[in-house]
Amino acid sequence: MDSRISARALTVLLGGWRTSEPAYEALADSIRLLGLDNRIAPRTALPAERELAAALGVSRTTIAAAYRSLRESGDIRSIRGSGSVTEPLGRAAVARTVVADPRAIDLQQASPPAWPGLAGVIAEAAGSVTTLLTAPGYDVIGNEALRAVIAERYTRSGIPTDAGEIMITNGAQSALHLLATTLVVRGDRVLIESPTYPHAAESFRAAGARLVSVPVTTGDGWDLDRAEQAFERTAPTLAYLMPDFQNPTGRSMNNAERDAMERAAARAGTTVIVDETTADLDIDRAVKPRAFGMSDAGASVIRVGSFGKTVWGGLRVGWIRANADLLRRVMAARFAIELGTPEWEQLIARTLVPRLPEIIAQRAHVLREGRDALVDALHERLPEWSIPTVDGGLSLWVDLGAPLSGALVMGVRSEGVLLSAGPRFSIDGGYERNLRVPFTVAPARIDAAVNALAVTWQRIRAGAAPVMLDRLDAVV
């Protein structure tokens, strides 16, 4: 056993769990989903039956039946002296059962398949691979030629950069982890959007940060009043923002929002980590805003990018764009975590950079087809849902009109569709009314996924128990 979760903490994570009958099975499904989403880690001891019953306001019989259902499905096991402990084998078995079906549609990861020309680029790069084998292969700062072409691309976009301001990493997630490890001292506050990319939040929490959330919505964008108050009152060490095609909302900051955020960060002395992994995924934005950090506000900005969303998630090459002094600090911290980015992947990336305009254009075409197919299908089959308008990115953040996201995600798994529930993207709880639906698979599979969602939605609505609003939404 690695950890224990209290009844109070589990109650917060569960939110409005009672979405169907029998109540014990609704509770069991909600706990299963927390495990599948990794919001409860494997080998975590669950609260005692009596303690959880009191916290949830239900009978101990309901809790006992829910735990029994979880034991029967292999999601928890009983350990003498520790009670009921979450079991990773159960979750893995469920995932394998669904993914093994060739008809399964995995929409948990908002990531398109590889750019079609990647195989040819790999073959081209293979012709130069022998030159790599004379080097030791440990590259903690990154290949100089790759850093130079990435720096040149920034310079052409209006952000003067030299190779000494670029560090190559094992994808954007590695970059975020390295920055959190280097810049966060336990107890520091980090301002972050809500909803947000969950693995970024996990990196900052793992470094000991206390997260301060700023709401962002599909309709109104960033809550600038809340943001300015948060910067002023908490003086966060860092802020993590995704100004272009924010994950999961798909919203992009306009220039006024960028100006306000930059001024607030500069006044607070906060360094802003700008996640640019989705910035190139423009479909039909009429006017492209200026790059974040390019006003005269003087905000300190670190940029993180990668090839994961534009080229392929399996090409684990990302980068940090920051001043050379900070990169030296990151490099010193990196030795305790990893010894660099593989030379072979960097060679492929170096070959790809000159072709990025072609790659981005192809991505825009594919994502436009997927987005339009998804929007049309949702409007036709689930007209009661609120469907946002997005002009880029990888997904839609839909409003279901009822706090049934977790129940829907669990129910649609039996139809062979894998999704992540709204609370997975939460900082403070909530978002049971929301569902992230990526449009990164082929239109035919999008159509099949929406069919499964519609069937499951009608089944859940027909059998749903009366529910109160998510209790976290009532907190002011």
- Does residue 396 have a pLDDT over 70? yes
What confidence category does residue 2 fall into, taking pLDDT thresholds of 50, 70 and 90?
low
Q: What is the DSSP letter of 466?
A: P
What confidence category does residue 87 fall into, taking pLDDT thresholds of 50, 70 and 90?
confident
Residues 89-93 have a mean pLDDT of 48
CA dist., res. 392 & res. 422, Å (int):
20
One domain, residues 312 and 340: yes
Look at the block and give the residue holding tokens 């239900």. Answer: 58
CB of 89 closer than 8 Å to CB of 78: no
One domain, residues 74 and 195: no
One domain, residues 111 and 193: no
Calculated CA dihedral for residues 379, 381, 383, 388, nearest 10 degrees: -40
CA dist., res. 84 & res. 90, Å (int):
14
Residues 312-334 have a mean pLDDT of 96
**Sheet strands (E) in 50-208:** 76-79, 83-86, 105-106, 166-169, 189-194
- Does residue 199 have a pLDDT over 90? yes
What is the residue-averaged pLDDT of the chain?
A: 90
One domain, residues 292 and 384: no
Calculated CA dihedral for residues 180, 182, 186, 189, nearest 10 degrees: -50
Spell out the residues 6+ positions from residue 357 whose beta carbon is closer than 8 angstroms to its own: none
- Does residue 93 have a pLDDT over 80? no
- Does residue 332 have a pLDDT over 80? yes
Residues 450-462 have a mean pLDDT of 94
One domain, residues 276 and 406: no
Q: Residue 102: count other Cβ atoms within 10 Å of its Cβ.
A: 6
**Sheet strands (E) in 90-237:** 105-106, 166-169, 189-194, 210-217, 221-222
Q: Residue 286: count other Cβ atoms within 10 Å of its Cβ.
A: 5
| Residue 470, pLDDT score | 35
What confidence category does residue 297 fall into, taking pLDDT thresholds of 50, 70 and 90?
confident
One domain, residues 450 and 325: no
- Does residue 475 have a pLDDT over 50? no
Domain boundary (354, 386, 408) is at 354
One domain, residues 437 and 342: no
CA dist., res. 204 & res. 96, Å (int):
30
**Sheet strands (E) in 363-473:** 395-399, 417-418, 434-438
CATH number, domain of 13, equals 1.10.10.10
Domain boundary (43, 62, 95) is at 95
Q: Give the whole-number percent of the chain exceeding pLDDT 70.
A: 94
- Does residue 212 have a pLDDT over 50? yes
Q: Pick the more confident residue, 432 or 99.
A: 432
Q: Pick the more confident residue, 39 or 170.
A: 170
CATH number, domain of 402, equals 3.90.1150.10
CATH number, domain of 235, equals 3.40.640.10
Burial of 400 (0-12, 13-18, 19+ CB in 10 A): buried
Pairing of strands 238-241, 189-194: parallel
Residue ranges in 164-223 assigned as alpha helix (H): 171-183, 198-206
What confidence category does residue 67 fall into, taking pLDDT thresholds of 50, 70 and 90?
very high
Residues 6-11 have a mean pLDDT of 90
One domain, residues 111 and 150: no
State whether the Cα torsion 228-232-234-236 is positive or negative: positive
What confidence category does residue 102 fall into, taking pLDDT thresholds of 50, 70 and 90?
low
- Does residue 96 have a pLDDT over 50? no
Q: Give the whole-number percent of the chain exceeding pLDDT 90.
A: 73
One domain, residues 323 and 396: no
Give me the helix-helix angle, 49-56 and 60-72, nearest 10°: 120
- Does residue 334 have a pLDDT over 50? yes
Domain boundary (354, 374, 394) is at 354
Give DSSP secondary structure letters for 229-298. Answer: HHHHHH--SEEEE--SS-TTT-----HHHHHHHHHHHHHHTPEEEEE-TTTT-BSS-SSPPPPTT-STT-
Number of domains in the chain: 3
- For the ranges 29-43, 157-171, 184-198, 289-303, the lowest mean pLDDT is seen at 29-43
| Residue 13, pLDDT score | 85
One domain, residues 82 and 202: no
| Residue 39, pLDDT score | 83
| Residue 101, pLDDT score | 62
- Does residue 466 have a pLDDT over 50? no
| Residue 464, pLDDT score | 55
- Does residue 315 have a pLDDT over 50? yes
What confidence category does residue 342 fall into, taking pLDDT thresholds of 50, 70 and 90?
very high
- For the ranges 52-56, 85-89, 302-306, the lowest mean pLDDT is seen at 85-89
One domain, residues 159 and 296: yes
What confidence category does residue 472 fall into, taking pLDDT thresholds of 50, 70 and 90?
very low
One domain, residues 239 and 104: no
| Residue 356, pLDDT score | 96
Spell out the residues 6+ positions from residue 134 whose beta carbon is closer than 8 angstroms to its own: none
**Sheet strands (E) in 3-98:** 3-4, 44-45, 76-79, 83-86
- Domain limits for position 370: 96-115+358-474
User: Left (φ > 0), alpha (ψ -120 to 50) or beta: where does 293 sit?
Assistant: left
- For the ranges 125-139, 158-172, 183-197, the lowest mean pLDDT is seen at 125-139
